[in-house]
Each structure stands twice: as C-alpha cells, then as structure tokens.
Amino acid sequence: MNFPFYIARRYLFSKKSHNAINVISAISVCGVALATLALVCTLSVFNGFQDLVASFFTAFDPQLRITAVRGKVFDGEDPRILALRQMPEVAVWSRSLEDNAMVQYQGRQAMAVIKGVEDNFDILTPIDSILYGRGELTLHDEVAHYAIPGIQLLATLGSSIRFLDPLEVYAPRRGAKVNLANPSTAFVTGSLFSSGLVFSVNQEKYDASYILTSIDFARSLFQYTTEVSAVNLRLAPGADTEAVKRQIQQQLGGDFRVEDRYEQQADTYRIMRVEKLISYLFLTFILVIACFNIIGSLSMLIIDKRDDVATLRNLGASDKQIVRIFLFEGRMISFIGASVGVVLGLILCWVQQAFGLIKLGSSGSFVVDAYPVSVEVTDVAVVFVTVLVVGFLSVWYPVRYLSKRLLK
C-alpha cells in the first residue's frame, strides 16, 4: 500500500488530540457534499425544463425540416425534393407554406403568421396533444377553409374558441403598388372559419402569432402555385436522425438546409444552455468557498501532528512523503464529499421525479405542478470531476506552503 496514503487514511479516521479538528473535518465533508448535491440537482432541473420545452415543440415542429438557403420559398415539385418520399427511412413527407399577414376579427386587428399545411400534418406531428376545444382537425372542405389559431392570438382578437364570424386575413399583393385612392386593391384577402379548436404550445412565439390552416388557402393568399416554405419529414421508427439528416443534406446539396428539432429552435436551446452554464459556474464558485473549510481542517491537522511528523522523519520519511500525506488527506475529504453529494443528489432527484415534493406553485398555475427533473450521466460525471479537481487544486498550494512553514 502507498505509504503516504496509508498514513493519511489513519489520520482522517483516527481520533485527534483536539476534538475541534474532527468537527471541522466533518464540516468540510458536509460542505463539499452540499455543493455537489446542489450542482447535481440544479443541472438536473435545467435538463427537466429543457425536456419539457422540447416536448411542446415536438408537437408542433417536424422531426426534420428542409428549407431554402436563399429566399423564403422554393419549388415544392423539385425532383430532388420529391425523391425524398421514396427513401425507406422517411415515414411521412409533408409540405408547408407560411408567411406574415394581418388578421381582423370584429374590428380588432393583429399580425399573424399563416401556416398552411397538408392534410397529413396530424400524422407528421402529435398536434392532437396541444389542441383544445370541441371540433375535428379539419383544415378545409369543399366550401371553406378553417383556422386553428394560437390561444393567445385568439385572446388578442377578443374571441372565444369557436368564433362566430370568420377571420378576415389580409396579405400584401406581390409586386403591387399601393393605390392611395383605394388601398384595399394592394391586398389579397381571404376568410377563415372556426374549426372549434385552438392550440397551445406554451410558447409566445407560437401561441400569440400562428394560425394553422390548409396549404391551399396559404397559396391562394400569398399568390403561390407550387412553392412551399418547407418540406417536413417524420422518420420511420428506429431511423438514425443524424445519419438520415446527413444523407439528405448530401442528396440535396448546398441549395437547401436540413434541420432537426433542436436546430429549428436553436435560439431557445442556446439560451437554456447559457443559463445552465451560468448556474454551473456560480455553484462551482460556491464549491470553491466550501473548500476553504478543507484548508482550515488541514492547517489544524498539520499543527496537531507535528510530533508525528518528527517521528516519521526519524524513521526515514522524506519531506516529500510527509507533504503527500496531507495532500492525500485533503483529497480524501474532497472525494468523500463528492461521493456523498452525488449519491444524495441522485436520491433527491429520484424522490422529486417519483413524488414531486417541490411544487412550482398552486395547482393549475403552471404547465406542470412540480419541478421537472431529468438526470443525465454526463452531467453527473462533469459534477464529480469538477468537485475533485476543485478540491485537489484547493489543497495543493496551502498544504505545500503550510508544510514548509509549520514542519521545519
């Protein structure tokens, strides 16, 4: 067995001449453990919120989306695009067209994004999970086109879920000049009737501005024929999303951009990652402060063991070995604290997942009642390594300095 490690282990668990040293050592372990627990739980809560947000977007965004690199639209009948339907990895192929328009209802106006989709949109995404109201997912029939607006947009227009009058939609006529004598000629108008449904993604970007309708209505409103804004794909079960994405990108070339769900909401996920990183750095700083207890504990231990050090020197121990004894002492405190903190953090996360003890607020005030938690192995590993590195570095210089000053 390593001689310095053996002595350090004996020092850590043996009774000291002053009971305060044992107390401070225990406090040091508890401090490191609490900081580790806080890191594990905080990062897991951020993961939980990220998964929660992703579940909302999953119901609205396709698994893969293909858009044009230049311009807002492209030809939906492009042979390269049509060839994607024949890929065995593609289960659902659907086109969509969206653009900005003004919506008016009983004198109230609001800017909206009209998103025209094909009839298989409910197969492309689990849109049913975010629909509310009494009605069927019908976007058009022989005589009319129907709207499924975001719930906040409907509130802005001052309407209930089933609006009585149709929504009047206005879009600028492409290439037309505004006639001041009759400005209405510069706009294309259309009417959307109530489907009896609204959607709620719990994201203002969608709920306050989007209206789902048929792609035929969108093409008529925006004066397009075969053009689309995006081609949306749902992959077959078991398909490797990244591999299929690379394959499609190679097949389409540089004229098109292929994005997965995370890339479609890159800004949102980037903000969440930055918030998670800031929390990690802040709690790591608290961990550094907690490690000062280790320095105090080691200082008192070095003073307490002066006679033992003299005995070890007489027995042939070198100064380097003596310094390593106290280094191992500090490292063991860090290791024990990190291990206890990780275990307690995982237990607390499991309890929160199973029982939801820590609530977000009164029931019904939020999308979920309790804080969502999702433990990721990489986060736990990063926390454990961080605690060990901070702990090891925090004892290295003080031990070497104190050993030279106090063990002469």
Q: Please write the tens of the pLDDT for every residue from 239-279.
A: 999 999 999 999 999 899 999 988 998 888 898 899 999 99
- Residue 400: which pLDDT band, with cuts at 50, 70 and 90? confident
Q: Which residue has the higher pLDDT, 334 or 184?
A: 334
Whole-prediction pTM: 0.78
Token pair in block for residue 119: 């009839």
Provide φ and ψ at 368, rounded to 5°: -125, 150
* Same domain, residue pair 101 and 132: yes
User: From CA 295, how far away is CA 395, in angstroms rounded?
Assistant: 6
Residue 289's pLDDT is 87
Q: How confident is the model at residue 408 (pLDDT cuts 50, 70, 90)?
A: low
Give me the long-range contacts of 67-73 (CB less than 8 A, separation at least 24): 67/229, 67/230, 67/256, 67/257, 67/259, 68/255, 68/256, 68/257, 69/254, 69/255, 69/256, 69/257, 70/255, 72/99, 72/229, 73/97, 73/224, 73/227, 73/228, 73/229
CA distances from 75 to 150, 173, 228, 296, 402 (A): 28, 20, 6, 71, 74
**pLDDT over 70 for what percent of the chain?**
88
Cβ(209)–Cβ(113) below 8 Å? yes
Both 217 and 275 in one domain: the answer is no
Structure token pair of residue 347: 């237990």
Beta strand 187-194 with 146-149: parallel, antiparallel or unpaired?
Answer: parallel
Residues 47 and 147 in one domain: no
Question: Which residue has better confidence, 185 or 288?
Answer: 288
The count of C-alpha atoms lying within 13 angstroms of the C-alpha of 108, restricted to the half-sphere facing its C-beta, is 13
Reply yes or no on whether the pLDDT at 235 is more than 90: yes
**pLDDT grade for 358, boundaries at 50, 70 and 90:** confident
Residues 364 and 332 in one domain: yes
Higher pLDDT, 313 or 143: 143
- Same domain (yes/no): 14, 74: no
Residues 218 and 298 in one domain: no
Q: Of 45-59, 62-76, 194-208, 352-366, where does mean pLDDT reach its minimum?
A: 352-366
Considering the domain architecture, whether residues 258 and 398 belong to the same structural domain is answered as no
Strands (E), 249-358: 256-260
pLDDT, residue 357, reads 84
Domain check: are 70 and 47 in the same one? no
d(CA 107, CA 127): 30
Over residues 295-316, mean pLDDT: 73
Q: Are 391 and 333 in contact (CB under 8 A)?
A: yes
- Residues 280, 321, single domain; the answer is yes
Block residue for tokens 């959307």: 192
Q: How many domains does the chain have?
A: 2
pLDDT > 90? residue 67? yes
Q: Which of 83-87, 176-180, 190-194 has the lowest mean pLDDT?
A: 176-180
Same domain, residue pair 97 and 119: yes
Q: How far apart are CA 403 and CA 400, in angstroms?
A: 5
Residues 40 and 93 reside in one and the same domain = no
CB of 319 closer than 8 Å to CB of 372: no
Q: Give kind and range of the element (H or E) at residue 193.
A: strand 187-194
Considering 233, 263, 293, which residue would you say is the last residue of a domain?
Answer: 263
Give the integer Cα–Cα distance in Å for 98 and 103: 14
Higher local confidence (pLDDT), 322 or 118: 118
Boundary of a domain, candidates 263, 281, 300: 263
Least confident of 21-25, 197-201, 227-231: 21-25
Q: How far apart are CA 233 and CA 189, in angstroms?
A: 31
23 has a pLDDT exceeding 80: no
pLDDT digits (tens, 9 = 90+) for 29-44: 899 999 999 999 999 9
Boundary residue ending a domain (263, 284, 313): 263
Lowest mean pLDDT among 94-98, 261-265, 349-353, 392-396: 392-396
For residue 116, the cross-strand partners are 97, 213
CA distance 264 to 117: 17
- 116 and 145 part of one domain: yes
Residue pair 158/215 in contact (Cβ under 8 Å)? The answer is: no
Determine what percent of the chain is predicted with pLDDT higher than 90.
54
Q: What is the average per-residue pLDDT within 57-86?
A: 92
- For residue 180, the enclosing domain spans 63-263
pLDDT at 246: 95
How many residues make up the chain in this entry?
408
Token digits for 219? 């093409």
When pLDDT is cut at 50, 70 and 90, the band that residue 24 belongs to is confident
CB 370 within 8 A of CB 268: no
Mean pLDDT of 226-239: 95
Residue 288 burial (CB count, 10 A): 13
For residues 49 and 372, is the Cβ–Cβ distance under 8 A? Answer: yes
Q: Which of 6, 13, 41 is nearest to 333 (CA)?
A: 13
| 234, β-bridge pairs | 92
Residue 116 pLDDT grade (very low, low, confident, very high; cuts 50, 70, 90): very high
